[in-house]
Structure 1
Amino acid sequence: MGNTETITVPHLGTSTIGYRFGRPYDPSLPTLVLVNSFSTSAELYGPQFADEELATTANLLAIEPYGHGRTRASYEQFTYWDSAIADLQVLDALGIPQAFVLGTSQGGWVAARMAVLAPRAVQGIVLLGTSMDSESPRSRDLGCWDGVAFCTPAIDALAEEVGDDWVIPVELVDAVLAEGLGDDVPPAERSFWHETHQRNYTGDDGRRRLRLCSINLRDRDGLHGRLDAVRCPVLWMQGTEDPVYSVANAEEEIRLFPHSAGAELRVVEGGRHFLSASHPAEVDRATVDFIRRWA
């Protein structure tokens, strides 16, 4: 797994986008963009970068959304639409005309937006532990979490300016890990994510970025009325032990891609919210098959 680099794109008054290739780019292979979940970074996809079959099937390119990792913009405000536009501009800047996109949780929202915005550039999307809705009563009625209740205390707590010595509280990191991976995260992995978050979210800039990421999660727009614009194939993988978004929700929403070349839902027994981390073998095999079928 290579180091995270940055590239400049024109969106939002010019932006510096964090990205990471698993191996040197090979133009003879298709490309798979990997978009990480809330408050994490390209490191979320360590298991995918380490998978030999996946790495020889496609160029693996992790791109960090606004507010995450090394991605920064001249403008302080951003949404998931902005991350989708920036990711498409990264592909242009790297000379990659088409790509598949895999997204975990919020990464799925970015992937779907990319497919809506640029149907010729996006060859297919792989959605992991996600939802195409806003944080709506409908979503909660289908067994999804209460994202408003989860995010609002953090948004309120992050409202005031802080000093240069501020770092993200480990309690917030642990709350994210509990939703993403459950309560039995190994100590070494927990420590890794504590350190990674506290490196990414420091000082008042880190506070502001984290707060806006939380606002975006809580207050985002739903995509139900736009999904008929998705033409590419869709593979949705949903874990049965995902406390955030439910299988029942995925079963309803996979039917909202009427013009997709092929929309499939796969339920992963025991799968957590951060499905690429909790069940990498299942995700990687399915993704390899998906790319080989549709490339």
Structure 2
Amino acid sequence: MVHDPALPTLVLINSYTTSAELYRPQFADPALGSAVNLLALEPYGHGRTRAAYRHFTYWDSAIANLQVLEALGIREAFVLGTSQGGWVVVRMALLAPDVVRGLIPLGTFMDFESPRSRELGCWDGIGFNTPVVDALADPVGEDWAVPDEFVDGVFDTALGGVSGEEREFWLATYRANYAGDAGRHRLRVSTVNLRDRDGLHGRLDEVRCPVRWLHGTADQVYSVANAEEEIRMFTRSPEARLEAIAGGQHFLSASNPVEVGSAVMEFVRRWS
């Protein structure tokens, strides 16, 4: 990252089991790159990011992200997060309201995996994740790699599937990131975190920065109806706005990079 102190910084937090590579379209966008400093930070257990301990949480990742900003001398930043990245960025805003200038959650969710959310058309996160947690319970050999079917399942759910070179790219990325017994354990803890996380409803009224929530209408995981309820919980934000992206998928920055880039630049200009 080449940091231009004259530009605002946009931090990008990736989704479940992906890596910073999720944001390749954003780093390839010259308009976005000329408007902001782009910094992708992976949650613990994802990509090349490791914790010094075996059991990490989303709160740990939020704290680590803030420590990165401090180490880089970045005093303020806008923060964008996809899916699980959305609740990481909210945690960052709660922990360091003087650092986070604005939140841009994409295709995300602020509850625990609750009956309320399923009534609003969200997925059954407990039913989806429990078989994965159980399947990854036992130690494996160092020749183990994440199964192709797991990777295909993630992208079928999040993007309606990928094919060709993109599929091969992600298969290779996942095999590198989740290899051997250490990879199995990171993948299991990441899945436990997704299934068993704490909700944020009781904390959202303490977020004091503006929020621009972007949500795809074709999101298979979390519904627009749920987002409509939860955006209203940011009662002390100077502006909390939901924007539905027609045809957008769960990994919205990948399915609709043009719309996301345009919304991000408008939001950052407004609140810088």
TM interval, short-chain normalised: over 0.9
Whole-Å Cα distance in 2 between the matches of residues 161 and 271 of structure 1?
38
Q: Which residue of 2 aligns with 1:236?
A: 213
Whole-Å Cα distance in 1 between the matches of residues 28 and 72 of structure 2?
23
Whole-Å Cα distance in 1 between the matches of residues 203 and 91 of structure 2?
9
Once the two structures are superposed, the pairs formed by residues 1-295 of structure 1 within 5 Å of their partners are: 21=1, 24-183=2-161, 185-295=162-272
Matched residue SS, 2:263: helix
Cα displacement (A) at 1:139:
0.6
Task: Summarize deviations over 1:229-256 as a string: whole Å, max 9, x none.
Answer: 1000000011110010000000000000
Whichever residue aligns with residue 103 of structure 1, its letter is: G
Cα displacement (A) at 1:73:
1.5
Aligned residue pair count: 272
C-alpha RMSD over aligned residues: 0.6
Q: Which residue of 2 aligns with 1:14?
A: none
Deviant stretches of 4+, over 2 Å:
none
Matched residue SS, 2:232: helix
Cα displacement (A) at 1:186:
2.6
Whole-Å Cα distance in 2 between the matches of residues 142 and 214 of structure 1?
23
Matched residue SS, 2:215: strand
Whole-Å Cα distance in 2 between the matches of residues 261 and 76 of structure 1?
38
Cα displacement (A) at 1:53:
1.0
Matched residue SS, 1:261: coil
Whole-Å Cα distance in 1 between the matches of residues 14 and 55 of structure 2?
19
Cα displacement (A) at 1:57:
0.8
Give the TM-score of the pair, scaled to structure 1: 0.91
Whichever residue aligns with residue 96 of structure 2, its letter is: A
Task: Summarize deviations over 1:68-95 as a string: whole Å, max 9, x none.
Answer: 0111121111110110000000000011
Q: Which ranges in structure 2 are unaligned for 5 or more consecutive residues? A: none
Cα displacement (A) at 1:190:
0.9
Cα displacement (A) at 1:179:
1.0
Q: Which ranges in structure 1 are unaligned for 5 or more consecutive residues? A: 1-20
Share of identical aligned residues, percent? Answer: 65
Whole-Å Cα distance in 1 between the matches of residues 149 and 131 of structure 2?
12
Whichever residue aligns with residue 122 of structure 2, its letter is: C
Whole-Å Cα distance in 2 between the matches of residues 157 and 191 of structure 1?
24
Whole-Å Cα distance in 2 between the matches of residues 196 and 132 of structure 1?
28
Whole-Å Cα distance in 1 between the matches of residues 248 and 107 of structure 2?
9
Cα displacement (A) at 1:188:
1.1
Whichever residue aligns with residue 229 of structure 1, its letter is: E
Give the TM-score of the pair, scaled to structure 2: 0.99
